[in-house]
Structure 1
């Protein structure tokens, strides 16, 4: 036995914390500091191996080579099946173990990490979010339930060792890609606690998660990587689990704190702030640890951090490494996993099941399921009819079963056409065709095209500005394979310019004959004659006319027009796809639309005119087989929508308006009728709901209610149902949700089978965040328990009365009231009070007054008011306190020097005031307000 093995940290009988303490004490200060980077170096003298944080494992092992690819996370969310999601994560972690032991790293050096950067718990507030595919749901309870299931599948069941270490992404309020590193998510306390934190809190508190990743964005003006919420919320929730969370940065985010965010003056200061806020590992500068570690060393030398700050982070890392079995390979129950598990037949079967369960039947007027005798000839049409795509966090599919292939396996006559134009581009200067070939052209929206070689299937690209047929698969961080064909109106209608979407530059002929995208202006570009060799819509019409039924498969490419770093600009299908659909339906009314996409689409026309509409996410390697099973009725369409599908004419809130309450986001607050509601999904059978009962009609705020309901399959075939339990407050004193999901259950019923379901409902699930007390509260009064098939398909309701004392008026006299704890507002932006902690408010557009409303304020005895303000500009600024019928006081706001320099201003009230009132604060001018206080005489 070598010397390192005889050291106490090698003793498996010692408690974990003692082993960690012993190893930490043996590391030199430099060795500890080096461990703060994503690529932690080995310590040979102690027999400690190199360690790397993070492998991507969102819906299968990603980026490491061929592995089982499951449906996207939003597709897993559509299953509403916690056990299935747990099994998917289990398979993912088993394959990750195999990559760890038996495959060289595809990225970086060392070994493939067993720390899994998954699941994503960001809520799908806005369907235009470029990363919509990565989340489970727009609802926090639904997201938390599936997130916990995924974490438990990754962890494994051993009480001591982890199969993989799940890291929750991305903390916090991250739901936009455009300018994501400099945009601030304004999240007031109610939204923070009831919505954004609510998705993370149960998962962390359960002990299922071992870590978290901070988000790129800012929240209330402060970057997430220095947010006090990392400690005051995230880590606090984990205190009862017996383990601390290991918090990692997102890639390059530590550097972003200085540039582009300009939140700190230098990198030593920013890295110190991130470490002290709770970032334990810095994913920055790739494998170049010298730069970020050098910044941290400088911070240590300047006294910005202490050794204890470093040690705290390293201790958390070491704890995870012990739990992953690194120091006990002979005891680790997962150490024997071999490479044969990757793409194992059982994993393929699970991928097929997951893909089938994620399919959602949105509309069906009897066309589905397909009948091989009634409709033996099927035309499969569309850009996704015979193609499967990987998203950025997909693994590499070991094989692909497309929709056309899946339907062909079923037998019968299946004809597949893409419905795309085939063209040649002939140089006006030389007469030569571009690439010496023809291209199949697919438009993905807003004129963004891919041109795929008709002979080889390779995509035309312009990497390094050289136009060439360079990729079989589009899956790189920078997508070089998208173009626009812009008409040259000075010539005939078939003359176009070829323009790179990525660079915006035009194609020209180089001196060596190469085609390069180097022209900055249309005038300098080469002219191309667009020769139409095949009319895609004409071909699709012919195929539809010759078939008994058409299946049109439309949707998105996950790397184009909506992806990480790029939000969607709208929610409608690309115009060319919509035109293709309408042409096919005109020729063949028996048309089913299959939307294969990372996010919702406003398919209003299809809903109004087609007999069947189906949605699936990009479902991985088994997509086609799963869809064929559902379309033919071998599998019941058991998926339900995890987010609202809005109508095309619905004016959605601004993408940066994170206030779901006031903006009207999600099924909870959206006021217009949706195209398809949250939780919607049809079956091939029917279900009856009966006998909704509550164990009591009255209950205290700290009590529980047993809810029972009977669900019966009234159809002639077996089917899956998702019973959704919602609650609503009937006469709330605050703006309550229209409905709020409080529980759900998925079940399979045989024809005629009925089952009584029981739900244990803690009354605390009816709670809202009370801004007056800074805590969750369940108000006394009338509520309604709702059993439903979706947020708009209510089947049964039952009344419930919560007993208890009425809420007291808000205390503001001799009490400091935070400005952000308002009940309502107008023209207000939430900002940071200091770089370390605290929130404040400021006018969104200073020329216009900003208003805050505080309801039911007890002003008895108040004679004076004071306010904490900060201001760095000139001009007039004042703060007014008003009641409904009169002004109480006006406070002049002086210049304080900068936005973080706070001062207190005060004034006597214009008159004595008593009793309970609604209080308005009006901010005139450009300044910040963090708190106010009334004082008694």
Structure 2
């Protein structure tokens, strides 16, 4: 029997008082149970079960039908915080509505993703907003603000930011370390998170799988040193799935799970997402850690307190006064949400090039060819909800122009597969699987598997035609013409044509067609390699059923690939007599770039390129629409085609949106949220997180680009005039006038950048500091005012470990993109010149370098502190500018650690002159530090110091002494 008079149920008391009361009523074991993602009910207190984690990146995911908005990168392309707040409000409302129907729906939503789109090859590019931290922060604050709601006490949902910190690679994501120097950390990585946290629109963060500077994010000190220092609010930190176990099982950072869980809890992780719904392992590990003295009850109470405060904010214990408690299922896919999804998709379309080919004249359009593999598709991604309604580009254009006006050719190559041994054909049963009774809602579809009753694909005397679609990198899908379903592999390893679309955590619908080589060259035959299982397709000798059997190529069935029809020919036929041709290409978000898989390059798949070229050869009035989760390198197509557009996968209304833009019903105003490079060769290594040293993103890349950050064209024109910049003690304000100088109404996105003139350290070519999106009628003007703190003229001063604004001149740039600058002004900051680095008095932290080469940042120990490490294959080099060595030092001391034996040394130079060399002994362990002192010969004064590290070693500090 519960006590309804308990203080924790008294809404008149403060949340802190109520949590204090509740914690006193819980046993230690019950508090520990709170720390798993799936928290049990406590019937004696009348408390229900609870789970952290509900995916809501661009609509409610994994819980059944919902309004599907454009992908996050598409929302980023709108550059429209007010719109994102509306979308967040709609998504948060649908979370509540689904919760009313299904108690499995969680109110702690794991969204938005604020990882910066530093490299377009990142598999999860679709999940982020932009490559710029302040644009990302502005959009994330808006979206999470909508999810949270405006009530001063209760939250609609509790948004949680993903993924803390420096996470931009899927390749070996659980074991790779992001080497992040101090300037990149403070100037680039942290601001994206700081904005929403300081604004109070999020409940907390989810640490990423990767390590940062050699230490796993889940035990990193940045959670304490930065995240929790930004606000007095009690933030919640939820681990990523299986990450607590990864600390031992994959990263081998700790020897036992008890140690790792204790370290994560002490570092600030509150909720452990591990072993799916089975909380027993997490409870046992934390219990043992407590008994062993690795953690204290205060650590458990602290985490439990944060989680209970979140539940209070969500109104769980106050249903009578919770303003969101009455939201019901009638709030799913409302007319308002449908219109908002279409508006978001329209605002996300980016016009990349237009030589008067657009908009299309619907009144004169006799025949429009709409071709390509995505012409009649509405692709979803891993974090999409189920579509209630859909509109493809083909459907959107036929709705407006009439079915008789619009012709279609997908462009798939149609083939037959014939077994070399015996001459039998791959055969597909024509039946379509019945999924009418399936429940699509799953807490995590990664854990859902199964097979259908559809007969397997076999070898027989009856051939079945297949549509082959190439997604790049040799990855293809095979779709049966007989039932329009993709070949897939089930739990029984049999091939069936039973999937409407590729998908799932492990995609079972992708293959390689591997040429079979002989001594004389290519035999013409192919093996069918199934990517999901990593095995080859072979036939059962008795039944002829095809299954994935072995990883050994020698056991694979050999097939001749016999063409039936060529997709490029069909596209050319459709294009030849058309008034205009629209080629729609792009990616399937489940293939060649998604969670767990990075892209190898930024090239358009070969088959898709052939379709564009065939359309262009047949009809010069060819328009390219790229619908993708990331940029492509298409400089040749930019030169050849009269018009190009890009949009992310636009959700349920993508086709309506694209059609309205193409026909001029909407003037495009999307802007690129990341740089489009001319080739893969323009990109640094995927794992190089040092954007300064690597010259990455629009801030530091100095080469020519295909389309710059912020680029996007319109059907009208805009003029910029009368820039006035004022600087107060705390704020820089730029005012200017934007005028629609064209003949159509439209939105403009004005962008404000800064640039340091004559900086003493490398500074970005451009840094976004504000933007405005507004609608203007022809001839209408708008006075725009954009302001930012004076401190944002500055940078992280590594010499003194603080943010600083150097005296000097700073250019204020206003324009239509990071390169299309229309107005300029200069502001001046006065003050004392920066002091030299106090090298003699304070020493030098090795990680506080100005420039580096051949080193990575690593962990000083398992708790906190960064050091530099050299792998021994190549010398490591460090530069420390303007080091004050007055009076002249006589000795220099290096604090070093070295696990291996062999020769290693540290050489100190003044400029290029060697002044000291120390031999580094083995200390037996990377965390065992020793100090090596040697004489140094250098006059008193300010010097640029260089360090040359030879051999495998780690360096923590350099200290000087004026005495011998």
TM-score where L is the length of structure 2: 0.94
Give the drift of 1:5: 1.2
Alpha-carbon distance change, 33 to 590 in structure 1, aligned in 2, over 3 angstroms: same
CA distance in 1, matches of 2:935, 2:426: 82
Paired residues of 2:477 and 2:509 also in contact (CA < 8 A) = yes
Give the drift of 1:497: 2.2
Partner residue of 1:480?
A: 508
Gaps of 5+ in 1: 105-110
Aligned with residue 879 of structure 2, among 853, 858, 864: 853
Paired residues of 2:121 and 2:601 also in contact (CA < 8 A) = yes
Aligned with residue 470 of structure 1, among 487, 498, 502: 498
Paired residues of 1:420 and 1:442 also in contact (CA < 8 A) = yes
CA deviation vs aligned residue, 1:741-773 (integer Å, no higher than 9, x gap): 011111111101111111223211111000011
CA distance in 2, matches of 1:578, 1:742: 38
Is 1:287 matched with 2:318? no
Partner residue of 1:260?
A: 250
Paired residues of 1:849 and 1:922 also in contact (CA < 8 A) = yes
Paired residues of 2:503 and 2:509 also in contact (CA < 8 A) = no
CA distance in 1, matches of 2:154, 2:274: 29
Is 1:690 matched with 2:726? no
Alpha-carbon distance change, 886 to 287 in structure 1, aligned in 2, over 3 angstroms: same
Give the drift of 1:169: 0.3
Give the drift of 1:489: 4.7
CA distance in 1, matches of 2:941, 2:951: 30
Q: Give SS of 2:106's match.
A: coil
Gaps of 5+ in 2: 430-463
Give the drift of 1:376: 2.7
Equivalences for residues 802-813 of structure 1 within 5 A: 802-813=829-840
Partner residue of 2:803?
A: 776
Give the drift of 1:537: 0.9
Deviating more after overlay: 318-327 vs 291-300: 291-300
Equivalences for residues 524-535 of structure 1 within 5 A: 524-535=555-566
Alpha-carbon distance change, 542 to 332 in structure 1, aligned in 2, over 3 angstroms: same
Is 1:166 matched with 2:159? yes
Give the drift of 1:493: 6.6
Give the drift of 1:925: 1.8
Give the drift of 1:649: 6.0
Give the drift of 1:472: 1.4
Equivalences for residues 277-676 of structure 1 within 5 A: 277-412=267-402, 413-428=405-420, 429=422, 431-436=424-429, 437-464=464-491, 465-489=493-517, 495-510=525-540, 511-648=542-679, 650-676=681-707
Give the drift of 1:132: 0.1
CA distance in 2, matches of 1:835, 1:432: 59
Paired residues of 2:133 and 2:189 also in contact (CA < 8 A) = yes
Equivalences for residues 733-772 of structure 1 within 5 A: 733-772=760-799
Give the drift of 1:548: 1.0
Is 1:908 matched with 2:938? no
Q: Give SS of 2:890's match.
A: strand
Paired residues of 2:603 and 2:680 also in contact (CA < 8 A) = no
Give the drift of 1:703: 2.8
Partner residue of 1:108?
A: none
Partner residue of 1:107?
A: none
Partner residue of 1:232?
A: 225
Q: Give SS of 2:652's match.
A: coil
Aligned with residue 917 of structure 1, among 943, 946, 953: 943
Aligned with residue 235 of structure 2, among 241, 245, 248: 245
Paired residues of 2:885 and 2:943 also in contact (CA < 8 A) = yes
CA distance in 1, matches of 2:367, 2:894: 75
CA distance in 1, matches of 2:165, 2:880: 27
Partner residue of 2:72?
A: 73
Between Structure 1 and Structure 2, how many residues are aligned?
921
CA distance in 2, matches of 1:749, 1:493: 63
Partner residue of 1:33?
A: 32
Q: Give SS of 2:428's match.
A: helix
What is the alpha-carbon root mean square deviation over aligned residues?
1.4
Paired residues of 1:249 and 1:282 also in contact (CA < 8 A) = yes
CA distance in 2, matches of 1:668, 1:15: 46
Paired residues of 1:69 and 1:396 also in contact (CA < 8 A) = yes
Partner residue of 1:894?
A: 921
Equivalences for residues 89-108 of structure 1 within 5 A: 89-103=88-102
Deviating more after overlay: 779-788 vs 702-711: 702-711
Give the drift of 1:473: 2.6
CA deviation vs aligned residue, 1:260-287 (integer Å, no higher than 9, x gap): 1000001111111001001000000001
Q: Give SS of 1:433's match.
A: strand
Paired residues of 2:411 and 2:568 also in contact (CA < 8 A) = yes
Give the drift of 1:426: 3.0
Paired residues of 2:601 and 2:680 also in contact (CA < 8 A) = no
Give the drift of 1:856: 0.7
CA distance in 2, matches of 1:673, 1:887: 39
Give the drift of 1:503: 2.6
Partner residue of 2:15?
A: 16
Partner residue of 2:447?
A: none
CA distance in 1, matches of 2:64, 2:680: 43
Q: Give SS of 1:820's match.
A: coil
Paired residues of 2:413 and 2:563 also in contact (CA < 8 A) = yes
CA distance in 1, matches of 2:636, 2:608: 12
Alpha-carbon distance change, 826 to 433 in structure 1, aligned in 2, over 3 angstroms: closer
Give the drift of 1:935: 2.2
Is 1:118 matched with 2:111? yes
CA distance in 2, matches of 1:400, 1:529: 38
Deviating more after overlay: 199-208 vs 116-125: 199-208
Paired residues of 1:4 and 1:10 also in contact (CA < 8 A) = no
Alpha-carbon distance change, 682 to 4 in structure 1, aligned in 2, over 3 angstroms: same
Paired residues of 2:2 and 2:44 also in contact (CA < 8 A) = no
Give the drift of 1:13: 0.3
Give the drift of 1:430: 5.5
Alpha-carbon distance change, 423 to 919 in structure 1, aligned in 2, over 3 angstroms: same
CA distance in 1, matches of 2:236, 2:761: 37
CA deviation vs aligned residue, 1:700-720 (integer Å, no higher than 9, x gap): xx4322211111111001011
Give the drift of 1:863: 2.4
Alpha-carbon distance change, 885 to 460 in structure 1, aligned in 2, over 3 angstroms: closer
Q: Give SS of 2:960's match.
A: strand
Q: Give SS of 1:373's match.
A: helix
CA deviation vs aligned residue, 1:653-677 (integer Å, no higher than 9, x gap): 0000000001011000001111000
Partner residue of 1:785?
A: 812
CA distance in 1, matches of 2:476, 2:799: 53
Is 1:724 matched with 2:751? yes
Paired residues of 1:814 and 1:936 also in contact (CA < 8 A) = no
Q: Give SS of 1:841's match.
A: strand
Give the drift of 1:894: 1.9
Paired residues of 2:123 and 2:598 also in contact (CA < 8 A) = yes
CA distance in 2, matches of 1:650, 1:687: 35
Q: Give SS of 2:362's match.
A: coil
Give the drift of 1:130: 0.1
